[in-house]
Amino acid sequence: MSKMHVTTTINGEPTEFLCDPDRSLLDVLRNTLGLTGTKEGCGTGDCGACSVTVDGRLVCACLMLAVEAGGCEIGTIEGMAQGGELHPLQQKFLEMAALQCGICTPGVLVAAKALLEKNPDPTETEVRFGLAGNLCRCTGYDKIVRAVLDTAAEMREAVQ
Protein backbone atom coordinates (compact mmCIF):
# COMPACT_ATOMS: atom_id res chain seq x y z
CA MET A 1 0.00 0.00 0.00
CA SER A 2 1.40 3.38 -0.93
CA LYS A 3 1.74 5.74 2.00
CA MET A 4 0.52 9.31 1.80
CA HIS A 5 2.35 12.35 3.07
CA VAL A 6 0.22 14.53 5.34
CA THR A 7 1.04 18.02 6.57
CA THR A 8 -1.06 19.25 9.45
CA THR A 9 -0.95 21.30 12.64
CA ILE A 10 -1.33 19.59 16.01
CA ASN A 11 -1.73 21.72 19.13
CA GLY A 12 -0.23 24.62 17.20
CA GLU A 13 2.85 22.67 16.05
CA PRO A 14 3.35 22.06 12.33
CA THR A 15 3.47 18.27 11.95
CA GLU A 16 4.12 15.89 9.07
CA PHE A 17 3.61 12.16 8.85
CA LEU A 18 3.33 9.30 6.40
CA CYS A 19 0.37 6.94 6.60
CA ASP A 20 -1.69 4.42 4.73
CA PRO A 21 -4.91 5.94 3.37
CA ASP A 22 -7.19 3.79 5.52
CA ARG A 23 -5.64 4.58 8.89
CA SER A 24 -7.72 6.60 11.33
CA LEU A 25 -6.52 9.85 12.81
CA LEU A 26 -6.71 8.14 16.20
CA ASP A 27 -4.33 5.39 15.09
CA VAL A 28 -1.80 7.89 13.73
CA LEU A 29 -2.02 10.17 16.78
CA ARG A 30 -1.33 7.28 19.13
CA ASN A 31 0.88 4.91 17.18
CA THR A 32 2.78 7.16 14.75
CA LEU A 33 3.02 10.43 16.65
CA GLY A 34 3.07 9.02 20.19
CA LEU A 35 0.24 11.28 21.37
CA THR A 36 -1.32 8.62 23.57
CA GLY A 37 -3.48 11.00 25.61
CA THR A 38 -6.25 10.45 23.07
CA LYS A 39 -7.77 7.10 24.00
CA GLU A 40 -9.44 4.37 22.00
CA GLY A 41 -12.65 3.10 23.54
CA CYS A 42 -15.11 1.73 21.03
CA GLY A 43 -13.52 2.73 17.72
CA THR A 44 -16.97 3.36 16.26
CA GLY A 45 -17.80 6.89 17.40
CA ASP A 46 -20.02 5.91 20.30
CA CYS A 47 -17.88 6.54 23.39
CA GLY A 48 -16.02 9.81 22.80
CA ALA A 49 -12.75 8.66 24.42
CA CYS A 50 -10.91 9.79 21.27
CA SER A 51 -12.44 13.28 21.20
CA VAL A 52 -10.22 15.88 19.53
CA THR A 53 -10.95 19.16 17.79
CA VAL A 54 -10.49 19.68 14.07
CA ASP A 55 -10.52 23.34 13.03
CA GLY A 56 -12.23 24.07 16.32
CA ARG A 57 -15.01 21.51 15.95
CA LEU A 58 -15.29 18.51 18.23
CA VAL A 59 -14.90 15.13 16.46
CA CYS A 60 -14.09 11.51 17.22
CA ALA A 61 -10.56 10.80 15.97
CA CYS A 62 -11.62 7.19 15.26
CA LEU A 63 -14.21 8.43 12.72
CA MET A 64 -11.74 10.41 10.66
CA LEU A 65 -9.03 9.23 8.31
CA ALA A 66 -5.57 10.55 9.14
CA VAL A 67 -5.21 11.74 5.54
CA GLU A 68 -8.21 14.01 6.07
CA ALA A 69 -6.17 15.95 8.63
CA GLY A 70 -4.09 17.53 5.84
CA GLY A 71 -4.19 21.32 6.20
CA CYS A 72 -6.32 21.15 9.37
CA GLU A 73 -5.69 22.41 12.89
CA ILE A 74 -5.94 19.46 15.26
CA GLY A 75 -6.32 19.95 19.00
CA THR A 76 -5.69 17.06 21.43
CA ILE A 77 -5.59 16.71 25.20
CA GLU A 78 -1.81 17.21 25.07
CA GLY A 79 -2.43 20.81 23.99
CA MET A 80 -4.85 21.63 26.79
CA ALA A 81 -2.40 22.63 29.53
CA GLN A 82 -0.52 25.77 28.54
CA GLY A 83 3.16 26.15 29.51
CA GLY A 84 2.90 23.58 32.27
CA GLU A 85 -0.23 25.20 33.69
CA LEU A 86 -3.33 23.06 33.78
CA HIS A 87 -6.49 24.29 32.07
CA PRO A 88 -9.14 25.30 34.64
CA LEU A 89 -11.16 22.21 33.67
CA GLN A 90 -8.20 19.92 34.34
CA GLN A 91 -7.56 21.63 37.70
CA LYS A 92 -11.22 21.34 38.69
CA PHE A 93 -11.45 17.68 37.66
CA LEU A 94 -8.52 17.00 40.02
CA GLU A 95 -9.98 19.04 42.88
CA MET A 96 -13.43 17.50 42.59
CA ALA A 97 -12.20 14.00 41.77
CA ALA A 98 -14.31 13.99 38.61
CA LEU A 99 -12.69 10.80 37.39
CA GLN A 100 -11.97 7.28 38.52
CA CYS A 101 -10.15 5.02 36.07
CA GLY A 102 -9.36 7.96 33.79
CA ILE A 103 -9.72 6.43 30.35
CA CYS A 104 -12.65 8.65 29.38
CA THR A 105 -11.13 11.74 31.03
CA PRO A 106 -9.07 13.18 28.13
CA GLY A 107 -12.08 12.93 25.83
CA VAL A 108 -14.40 14.42 28.44
CA LEU A 109 -12.01 17.33 29.01
CA VAL A 110 -11.62 18.05 25.29
CA ALA A 111 -15.41 17.90 24.84
CA ALA A 112 -16.08 20.04 27.92
CA LYS A 113 -13.59 22.66 26.73
CA ALA A 114 -15.30 22.77 23.33
CA LEU A 115 -18.67 23.07 25.07
CA LEU A 116 -17.57 26.00 27.27
CA GLU A 117 -16.01 27.82 24.33
CA LYS A 118 -19.40 27.77 22.61
CA ASN A 119 -21.48 28.26 25.73
CA PRO A 120 -19.68 29.77 28.75
CA ASP A 121 -22.81 29.62 30.93
CA PRO A 122 -24.44 26.22 30.31
CA THR A 123 -27.28 24.77 32.34
CA GLU A 124 -26.86 21.31 33.85
CA THR A 125 -29.08 19.95 31.07
CA GLU A 126 -26.88 21.58 28.42
CA VAL A 127 -23.77 20.06 29.98
CA ARG A 128 -25.39 16.63 30.05
CA PHE A 129 -26.47 16.91 26.40
CA GLY A 130 -23.13 18.41 25.41
CA LEU A 131 -21.26 15.47 26.95
CA ALA A 132 -23.74 12.78 25.86
CA GLY A 133 -21.16 11.53 23.37
CA ASN A 134 -18.65 10.80 26.14
CA LEU A 135 -19.28 7.57 28.00
CA CYS A 136 -17.89 7.09 31.51
CA ARG A 137 -18.36 3.70 33.13
CA CYS A 138 -17.07 4.71 36.57
CA THR A 139 -18.38 8.01 37.86
CA GLY A 140 -22.06 8.00 37.06
CA TYR A 141 -21.36 11.43 35.48
CA ASP A 142 -22.46 13.46 38.50
CA LYS A 143 -18.99 14.61 39.50
CA ILE A 144 -18.07 15.32 35.88
CA VAL A 145 -21.15 17.49 35.34
CA ARG A 146 -20.61 19.37 38.60
CA ALA A 147 -16.93 19.94 37.80
CA VAL A 148 -17.81 21.37 34.38
CA LEU A 149 -20.48 23.66 35.88
CA ASP A 150 -18.09 24.84 38.63
CA THR A 151 -15.32 25.50 36.11
CA ALA A 152 -17.71 27.46 33.91
CA ALA A 153 -18.70 29.64 36.86
CA GLU A 154 -15.05 30.24 37.80
CA MET A 155 -14.05 31.04 34.23
CA ARG A 156 -16.92 33.54 33.95
CA GLU A 157 -15.78 35.24 37.16
CA ALA A 158 -12.19 35.36 35.94
CA VAL A 159 -13.32 37.18 32.80
CA GLN A 160 -15.17 39.87 34.76
Partner 1 sequence: MAEIRYLAPRTLDEAVGAFAAAQGAARILAGGTDLLVQMRNGLAKPGLIVDIKKIAEMTEIAELPDGGFRIGAAVSGAMLAEHPRFGQVWPGVLEAVNLIGSKQVQGRASPGGNLCNASPAGDSVPAMIAAGAVVTVQGPEGRRQMPVEAVPAGPGRTNLRPGEIVVGFTLPPRPAGSGDAYLRMIPRTEMDIAVVGLGVSLTLAGGTVTHARVGLGAVAPTVLLVEEAGNALLGSRLEEAALDAAAAACRAACRPINDKRGTIAYRTKVAGVLLKRAVAIAAQRAQGGN
Told to check if 62 binds partner 1 by CB under 8 A, we report yes
**Interacting residue with partner 1 among 38, 51, 90, 151 (CB under 8 A):** 51
In the complex, least distance from residue 1 CB atom to partner 1, rounded to whole angstroms:
6
Told to check if 76 binds partner 1 by CB under 8 A, we report no
Give the β-pairing of 73-75 and 4-10.
Answer: parallel
Told to check if 111 binds partner 1 by CB under 8 A, we report yes
Could you write out the DSSP letters of every residue in 123-137? -HHHHHHHTTT---S
Count of other CB atoms within 10 angstroms of residue 18? 12
Radius of gyration of the chain from its Cα atoms, rounded to whole angstroms: 16
Told to check if 115 binds partner 1 by CB under 8 A, we report yes
In the complex, least distance from residue 75 CB atom to partner 1, rounded to whole angstroms:
12
Q: State how far the Cα of 56 lies from the Cα of 99, in Å rounded to an integer.
A: 25
Told to check if 126 binds partner 1 by CB under 8 A, we report no
Q: State how far the Cα of 148 lies from the Cα of 121, in Å rounded to an integer.
A: 10
Helix (H, G, I), strand (E, B) or coil at 57: strand
**Interacting residue with partner 1 among 67, 104, 127, 144 (CB under 8 A):** 67
The site for partner 1 (CB under 8 A) is made up of 1-2, 4, 20-22, 24, 43-46, 48, 51, 54, 57-60, 62-65, 67-68, 70, 111, 114-115, 129-130, 132-134
